[in-house]
Amino acid sequence: MLNTGIKNTITITVNNDKTAKAMGSGTLDVFATPAMVALMEQTAAESVQPFLDEGVTSVGTKINVEHLSADPLGIEITCESELSEIDGRKLCFEIICSDKCGIVGKAYHERFLIKSESFMNKTNAKL
């Protein structure tokens, strides 16, 4: 059953694919903001998926993120999400990313529950 308080943690190592230079969001070999956002969404999405009915998933609709500290290649980043609110099909998460020195980023993230098949049919109708 889906309840507030559901948590998840994912730890990654910053590699060349996750740098601002590689992702086009900057010119330096530091952990990219888009990579952090993707990690935050992944952590939140994976936390609730086991509690959803077959054929149901969640999609990200909003993220308010602060990237507070730069990180070099090779460092580990730990992302922790917590489901803080459920409002009908809307799920709200508080998310923190940290390294061995402290908080790297934080976010408020919203996801919506959708039926995968009907969502994809509506999306593909745009073609």
Report the pLDDT value the prediction gives residue 75, as an integer from 0 to 100. 98
Average pLDDT of the segment spanning 92-100: 98
Q: What is the pLDDT of residue 1?
A: 86
CA distances from 121 to 59, 80, 98, 110 (A): 15, 33, 38, 23
CA distance 69 to 105: 7
pLDDT score of 2: 95
CA 29, 70, 26, 67 torsion-angle sign: positive
Mean pLDDT, residues 94-101 taken together: 98
**Which helix (DSSP H) or strand (DSSP E) does residue 8 occupy?**
strand 7-13
pLDDT at 108 > cutoff 90: yes
| Domains and their CATH numbers in the chain | 7-124 (3.10.129.10)
Q: For the chain, what is the mean pLDDT?
A: 98
State how far the Cα of 91 lies from the Cα of 5, in Å rounded to an integer.
Answer: 11
- Which tens digit of pLDDT belongs to each residue from 27-77? 999 999 999 999 999 999 999 999 999 999 999 999 999 999 999 999 999
Judge whether residue 116 has pLDDT over 90: yes
Confidence (pLDDT) at 91: 98
- Residue 34's CB is within 10 A of a number of other CB atoms, namely 16
Closest CA to 100 of 5, 14, 25, 6: 14
